[in-house]
């Protein structure tokens, strides 16, 4: 006898097992998340099979835990081919049941940390909560500090009061030669941050940050690699704005090109960050800093077109969503980089890089060429200090050589 669930999902047999009363709710959840009929049917059918298996094993609803899906799939693999998405579907099912309160949340004991790992954990929490550093910065600092403490204290007790300048210098001298210049500089920055933190907490009496060696850089600063203005125009013109994906990509590319937003800032944009009446947009930048920028008419029109005719229905407050269910915001900055790379490849444009930051460089370069001051460029790009903006004053000697006039006196 067939079983109709949520109007458009029909199963070949009646529901059985402890999850029977919740399968319809799971089907509604899948529909609200934007899954099409076929994948939704697969999810519901798998949930029904899982419920039947639980009943056969006499596993009650309150005893269901995260180990049961794996056991079920191993058993199921003897009869049918396991699909790639099956494990993810069962994780979604357990998450749904826990959210409904019918399956208890598992109490996972925290891992046992060594004293060094505990110290790193506290430093990481300080960076996130007190300093409000971006995730990328925290993820860059922590491994260096972990290595430093493990190198000095091993698995034993961490007594920062025993640190001395020699420990710091020796560590940097051993590690820096193995690293690329930028990584070596990041190593010293991370160590200084940690030692400032330890001094602030009173765990070391003198500020050992001053003992961190400076990594020499004798080369001139690299010139920011910016996409050309013509390439930006061709890229924007190539986007197919008749599709939902095209409307989304066009709006994102405009934000990168017109406002110089970082990829992470695009990801973090929320619906409430756009003030349509005031014609402004609030950008959540590095270190938790917020900036209110004017919203250019063409950018506003592109975002509005996406919101009206491209953005799928979702409970997410993110402005830009994935095009595949579940409809949620992008997972990280790399998603925007992939979007840029895909659009550049489709348009056949050979850009200096494949990432999103080249648009930011292009905006700064164009402003500089039109006579904008470094302070004005820094304000638009929301730089923390003028030193960051000065990189755009670097002279591209190779480009200048192509423009140089021949020497009138001939070759000597």
| 71 flagged as catalytic | no
Q: Tokens for 207? A: 């500020």
Looking at the DSSP assignment, which residues form a beta bridge with residue 329?
321
Residues 76, 128, 286, 390: which is the catalytic one? 286
Residues 52, 192, 248, 383: which is the catalytic one? 383
How far apart (Å, rounded) are the C-alpha atoms in residues 47 and 96? Answer: 11
Q: Are 325 and 34 in contact (CB under 8 A)?
A: yes
Q: Are 375 and 388 in contact (CB under 8 A)?
A: no
| 180 flagged as catalytic | no
Element (H, E) at 275: strand 274-275
Residues 43, 146, 357, 382: which is the catalytic one? 357
Residues 262, 268, 341, 384: which is the catalytic one? 262
Peptide linkage before 326 cis (omega within 30 of 0): yes
| 286 flagged as catalytic | yes
355: left (phi over 0), alpha (psi -120 to 50) or beta: beta
Q: Are 246 and 340 in contact (CB under 8 A)?
A: no
Q: What is each CA distance from 233 to 73, 169, 274, in whole angstroms? A: 51, 50, 25
How far apart (Å, rounded) are the C-alpha atoms in residues 44 and 11? Answer: 8
Element (H, E) at 335: helix 333-347
| 357 flagged as catalytic | yes
| 129 flagged as catalytic | no
Q: Are 47 and 89 in contact (CB under 8 A)?
A: yes
Q: Is 196 exposed, middle or buried (0-12, 13-18, 19+ CB in 10 A)?
A: middle
Please name which of 84, 10, 73, 75 lies closest in space to residue 40, comparing C-alpha atoms.
10
| 306 flagged as catalytic | no
Return the active site residues.
262, 286, 357, 360, 383, 392
């Amino acid at each position: 006898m067939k079983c109709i669930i949520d109007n458009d999902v029909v199963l070949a047999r009646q529901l059985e097992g402890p999850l029977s009363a919740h399968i319809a709710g799971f089907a509604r959840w899948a529909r609200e998340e934007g899954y099409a009929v076929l994948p939704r049917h697969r999810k519901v059918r798998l949930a029904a099979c899982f419920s039947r298996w639980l009943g056969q094993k006499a596993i009650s609803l309150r005893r269901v835990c995260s180990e049961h899906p794996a056991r079920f799939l191993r058993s199921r693999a003897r009869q049918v081919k396991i699909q790639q998405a099956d494990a993810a579907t069962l994780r979604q099912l357990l998450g749904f049941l826990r959210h409904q309160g019918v399956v208890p949340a598992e109490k996972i004991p925290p891992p046992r940390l060594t004293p060094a790992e505990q110290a790193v954990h506290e430093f990481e929490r300080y960076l996130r909560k007190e300093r409000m550093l971006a995730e990328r910065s925290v993820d860059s600092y922590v491994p260096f500090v972990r290595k430093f403490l493990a190198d000095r204290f091993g698995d034993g007790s961490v007594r920062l009061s025993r640190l001395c300048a020699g420990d710091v210098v020796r560590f940097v001298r051993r590690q820096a030669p193995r690293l690329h210049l930028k990584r070596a500089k990041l190593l010293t920055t991370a160590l200084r941050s940690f030692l400032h933190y330890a001094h602030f907490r009173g765990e070391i009496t003198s500020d050992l940050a001053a003992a961190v060696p400076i990594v020499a850089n004798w080369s001139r600063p690299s010139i920011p690699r910016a996409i050309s203005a013509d390439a930006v125009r061709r890229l924007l013109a190539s986007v197919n704005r008749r599709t939902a994906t095209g409307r989304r990509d066009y709006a994102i590319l405009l934000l990168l090109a017109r406002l110089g937003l970082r990829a992470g800032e695009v990801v973090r944009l929320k619906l409430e960050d756009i003030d349509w009446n005031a014609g402004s947009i609030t950008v959540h930048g590095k270190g938790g800093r917020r900036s209110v920028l004017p919203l250019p008419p063409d950018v506003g029109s592109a975002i509005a077109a996406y919101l009206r005719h491209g953005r799928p229905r979702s409970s997410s407050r993110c402005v830009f969503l994935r095009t595949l269910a579940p409809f949620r915001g992008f997972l990280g900055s790399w998603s925007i980089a992939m979007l840029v790379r895909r659009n550049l490849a489709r348009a056949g444009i050979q850009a200096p890089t494949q990432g999103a930051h080249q648009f930011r460089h292009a905006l700064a370069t164009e402003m500089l060429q039109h006579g904008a001051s470094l302070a004005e460029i820094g304000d638009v790009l929301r730089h923390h200090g003028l030193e960051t903006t000065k990189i755009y004053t670097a002279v591209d000697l190779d480009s200048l050589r192509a423009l140089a006039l021949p020497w009138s006196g001939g070759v000597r």
